[in-house]
Amino acid sequence: MHEWMTDNSHTPYLVVDAELPGVDVPDGYINDGRIVLNVSYSAVEHLQMGNDHISFRARFGGAPFAIHVPVAAVLAIYARETGQGVVFSEGGDSPTDDGDGPDGSGQSRPALKVVK
């Protein structure tokens, strides 16, 4: 998703559960236990996106900060310009939605959805 957004001149943002173990982000930018991070190449340095974690250096309020986010803490990725992206489960293990099916049957809806 990050590569596709970048290739299409969109700005990729990550929504991260900042309360999970192993998440290292600046406390002053956490809101309701979450933080939104601009992960565009113009906003970060030394971006590393692996199967287990995402890390990079970025400035917050002008001060440099080393960011470390376990992949399991990523709740969503979306493009700033369109608001479209993918929402993952609270644990970040797999794409999902957050509740019962539309008819209340307990059946989950499709695994991926567009964020607007």
CA distance 67 to 64: 10
For 23-63, write each residue's pLDDT tens digit.
999 999 999 999 999 999 999 999 999 999 999 999 999 99
Q: What's at 30, amino acid-wise?
A: I
Between residues 6 and 60, which one has the greater pLDDT? 60
**Phi, psi (degrees; rounded to nearest 5) at 53:** -155, 165
On whether the CB atoms of residues 35 and 18 are closer than 8 A, the answer is yes
Q: Do 110 and 97 form a contact (C-beta atoms < 8 A)?
A: yes
Quick: pLDDT tens for 55-78.
Answer: 999 999 999 999 999 999 999 999
93, pLDDT greater than 80: no
Alpha-carbon torsion (24, 27, 29, 33), positive or negative: positive
